[in-house]
């Protein structure tokens, strides 16, 4: 199967806690039967790729909420 973009690279400023934030970009794509949310820093360094559960279809604002939780978890690790 082939890879298909669902949402092209989008810039986002993710608020962490208090006055902290991080500038990132993300894309959502399908590879075969699976959906992924890929996050990178603004200078193209990979941060994390998250496999989305089957049938999870979100709007742009929901992806950005998900980004915050994923990024906070990655930073904490």
CA quadruple 5, 69, 65, 41: dihedral positive or negative?
negative
10-residue stretch averages of pLDDT, the chain, 77 residues long: 85 79 88 88 91 72 75 64
Distance CA 67, CA 52 (A): 12
Q: How do the domains of the chain map onto residue ranges? A: 3-76
pLDDT for the residue numbered 71: 75
Is residue 7 within 8 Å of 28, Cβ to Cβ?
yes
H-assigned helices in 1-77: 60-76
**29 CB neighbour count, 10 Å cutoff:** 16
pTM more than 0.85 = no
């Amino acid at each position: 199967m082939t890879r298909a973009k669902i949402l092209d690279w989008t810039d986002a400023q993710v608020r962490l806690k208090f006055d902290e934030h991080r500038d990132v970009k993300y894309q959502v794509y399908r590879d075969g039967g699976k959906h992924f949310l890929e996050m990178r820093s603004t200078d193209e360094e990979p941060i994390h790729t998250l496999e989305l559960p089957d049938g999870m279809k979100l709007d742009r604002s929901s992806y950005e909420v998900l980004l915050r939780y994923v990024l906070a978890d990655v930073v904490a690790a």
